[in-house]
Structure 1
Amino acid sequence: MEKKIILSIESSCDETSAAIVINGREVLSNIIASQIDIHEKFGGVVPEVASRKHIEAVNWVVEEALKEANVTLEDIDAVAVTYGPGLVGALLVGLQYAKGLAYSLKLPLIGVNHIEGHICANFIDHKDLVPPFVSLVVSGGNTFIVHVKDYGEYEILGETRDDAAGEAFDKVARAIGLGYPGGPKIDKISKEGNEDAIKFPKAKFHEDTLDFSFSGLKSAVLNYINKKNMQGEEINRADVAASFQKSVVEVLTENVLATCEKRKINKIAIAGGVASNSYLRNNLIKEGNKIGVEILFPSLVLCTDNAAMIGSAAYFQLIKGYSSGLDLNAKPNLKLGEK
């Protein structure tokens, strides 16, 4: 197999990242400059601040990625970059940098869908993983069940009709005073709580669907908190977090395992920031074992936004002969499978 070395850049939200990836599965470096500490005091990501920080960090992360991988720009075969979905200003920083680099080096430019990158993170940690399989993509901006039919070939079988799961985690965390980012903080405090203390609802649709809805659950949590406050009663944050987390994870688990039964597939690859949630991991493995479905997760660093996953996705496009033009633009609302 001919070796292809890809320099990839990710800047869709609040992480500036660059990586060097060989043949979509071997990561030589994956440098991530996080902005979590900066946005924490605002209670969430401020787009203008994120864009400015990307400008400050992008050159540095690329230089560090090359240095750690012990390669030079002359060794690179292609430049890959996230072009959507995400914050438009943040996307443009990485995109413009990548376009300039590809043009100056006379290399192919490969625009990568951020969601596809999350799915492809599993190819890095699971070297033998090949399609077809089912992927559950769970992050702050997206919640999908995807049938991965082949490299770059996807069919969305279920998705949220309102809030993404990660978005619901952030909003509930803010409501109970945990702050930002909500996902890891709810995961941590839930270990101290009783998951059966409060019966929160799970959305049920009349039609036969694999879709999700988390807006009603989020509202139920907020109503519970408001009622307790009005009655002057103390709120057990750990119990609220654990009960909320259980409701989210149960519906995610039920729907994705139902997908496997419908499609006669026995392998699920989880992707996205919420894939790092320990309760989700444990519950999926436990329930998957009952019906003979293998559950795969990326390592924790590959669950969050990073450039290595973008380099992996780009490789499978490169070997199919696909590349982007220098007129490639940011698409903040890009859908999976859309070009």
Structure 2
Amino acid sequence: MLVLGIETSCDETAASVVECTAGALNVRSNVVASQEALHAPYGGVVPELASRAHLACIVPTLERALQDAGLRWSDLDRIGVAHCPGLIGSLLVGVSAAKGVAWSLGKPVIPVDHVVAHLAACLLDRPMPAWPALGLVASGGHTSVFRMDGPTEPTLIGWTIDDAIGEAFDKAAAMLGLGYPGGPKIEREAIGGDPQAVRLPSAFLRRDGVQFSFSGLKTALLYAARGVPGTARRPAPAAPPLTPERVRDLAASFQHAAVASIIEGLDAALEQPGDRPRTLLVGGGVSANQCLRAALEGWASAHGIECRVPMIAHCIDNAAMIAGLAALMPAPRGTGDLGFVAEPMSRIARGARGPQRKAS
């Protein structure tokens, strides 16, 4: 079965063809048109600019994916598309393209949750793992922990109540004057820094269940970098100057605290009811961080669990993960229901509000 995946949830226009044979997912092509240079001057993604860039790139990207796979449109068996969560204008471009392709070919289109698809990236070009599994999505928009009885059966058991870990990395980089995107810049600076130079709080909340809060960690870094606010009667002492060495130490301390928080959350996830997980699946842009990858592999090894992290190219937003998850989902007859819509929020993952849900 040949599946075309389409991904436009934020600032990457991506298309991929994945071949599914007896449950094995093999990537035939994977094309990503990045908008990083477009948004860098603004320090973050500008939604209107992202939507317009998707419109300009979507058709050439789809054609390139088919060309790289050595296929024609008629060779496709189904189409998968990220329809949530994300920037609504960006999602609309991909959803509209997917519906148009499905209708013209008479093939089914499968709406896919972008967050869950990040975990499917661990299944690409590899044998299926042992189930049940823990799933960790660490990205710019989500910090979510799932219990998974299969690749399409995630149940949310942990989440952030405010900021996601990837957003925290971006804000930390801005505080230290490192620019955008923040994750790679923090990681690069941290290499030469002392992770114990500044004591920063954990983002893991010691409550029942698995919850994170990265807002306090960001504030602690801000105070360490710029000083604690004072009052007219009690002026605060000035913070040490942000020398290059100080920036490296703060970056290393922040990265250490963020990674340690994730490990604490996974410890709590192991205590949740149910059969013991046999695999840890990790996805999302922050999973490209080498410090986090090493910590997760060490944690999994200590608990006798297989650790699956995607190849670096599949950590960022990409369409191979969309196609892979769509290939494993049941397909409707014909084109399926073309009435599904782009949605800014995930139906499965969540932040501070909204009911816990199991994927259907």
User: What TM-score comes out, normalization by structure 1 length?
Assistant: 0.94
Q: Which amino acid aligns with 1:287?
A: W
Cross-structure match for 2:226: 226
**Superposition map of 1:199-218 within 5 A:** 199-203=199-203, 205=205, 207-218=207-218
Which of 232, 242, 245 is matched with 2:255 structurally? 245
C-alpha distance in 1, partners of 2:162/2:29? 36
Deviation at 1:203, TM superposition (A): 4.0
Write the letter of the residue equivalent to 1:291.
H
Closer, same or farther: CA 174–125 of 1 in aligned 2, 3 Å: farther
| Structure 1, unaligned runs of 5 or more | none
Q: Partner of 1:72 in structure 2?
A: 72
Asked if the contact 1:111–1:324 (Cα under 8 Å) also holds between the matched residues in 2, the reply is: no
CA distance in 1, matches of 2:290, 2:309: 11
2:304 alignment partner in structure 1 = 292
3-state SS of 2:156 partner: strand
What is the 5 A alignment of 1:113-262? 113-203=113-203, 205=205, 207-227=207-227, 231=238, 233-235=240-242, 236-262=246-272
Which residue of structure 2 lines up, in the alignment, with residue 63 of structure 1? 63
Partner of 2:14: 17
Query: Matched residues in 1 for 2:260 and 2:194: separation?
Result: 15
Displacement after TM superposition at 1:127 (Å): 1.9
CA gap 1:103/1:323 in 2 versus in 1, 3 angstroms: closer
Gaps of 5+ in 2: 230-236, 349-357
CA spacing shift, 1:320–1:155, aligned 2, 3 Å: farther
> Matched residues in 1 for 2:52 and 2:192: separation?
38
Q: CA deviation at 1:321?
A: 7.1
Q: Where does residue 272 of structure 1 map in the other structure?
A: 284
Alpha-carbon distance in structure 2 between the residues aligned to 1:160 and 1:31? 31
More displaced stretch, 62-71 vs 119-128: 119-128
Which residue identity is paired with 1:139? Answer: S
Q: 1:332 maps to what in 2?
A: 344
Work out whether residues 48 and 89 of structure 1, in 8 Å CA contact, stay in contact via their aligned partners in 2.
yes
- 1:99 CA drift (Å): 0.7
Secondary structure of residue in 2 paired with 1:25: strand
Cα–Cα, structure 1 residues 161 and 188, in superposed 2: closer, same or farther, change >3 Å?
Answer: same
Residue from 2, 5, 29 that aligns with 1:5: 2
> For the residues of structure 2 that align with 1:37 and 1:232, how far apart are their CA atoms?
33
* Partner amino acid, structure 2, of 1:270: V
- Cα contact 1:17–1:30 (8 A) shared by 2: yes
Q: Distance in 1 between matches of 2:14 and 2:203?
A: 36
What secondary structure sits across from 1:44 in the alignment? coil
Give the AA of the match of 1:20: V
SS class of match (2:255): helix
Kindly state the Cα deviation for residue 232 of structure 1 after the two structures are TM-superposed.
6.1
CA distance in 1, matches of 2:166, 2:221: 15
Distance 2:201 2:123 in 1: 35
CA contact (8 A) 1:138 1:144 kept: yes
Structure 1 residue 338, shift from structure 2 partner: 5.6
Letter in 2 for 1:9: I
Confirm whether residue 306 of structure 1 aligns to residue 306 of structure 2.
Answer: no
* 1:44-79 Cα deviation digits (max 9, x unpaired): 000000000000000011000000000000100111
Superposition RMSD in Å: 1.9
Quick one: structure 1 residues 321 and 148, their matched pair in 2 at CA, closer, same or farther if it must change by over 3 Å?
farther
Residue 40 of structure 1 is matched in structure 2 by 40
Give yes or no for contact 1:276–1:300 (8 Å, CA) kept in 2.
yes
- 3-state DSSP class of the match of 2:212? coil
Q: Read off the aligned partner of 1:199 and give its amino acid letter.
A: R
Asked if 2 retains the 8 angstrom alpha-carbon contact of 1:165 and 1:214, the reply is yes
Q: TM-score, normalised by structure 2?
A: 0.89
Offset, 1:286? 1.9
| Cα offset, 1:7, TM superposition | 0.9
What letter corresponds to residue 7 of structure 1 in structure 2? Answer: L
Whose helix proportion is higher, 1 or 2?
1
Q: Helix, strand or coil for the counterpart of 2:149?
A: strand
User: Shift in Å at residue 205 of structure 1?
Assistant: 3.8
Aligned residues: 336
Q: Which amino acid aligns with 1:168?
A: A
What is the CA–CA distance in structure 2 between the aligned matches of 1:322 and 1:116, rounded to whole Å?
25
Greater mean deviation of Cα atoms: 45-54 or 231-240: 231-240
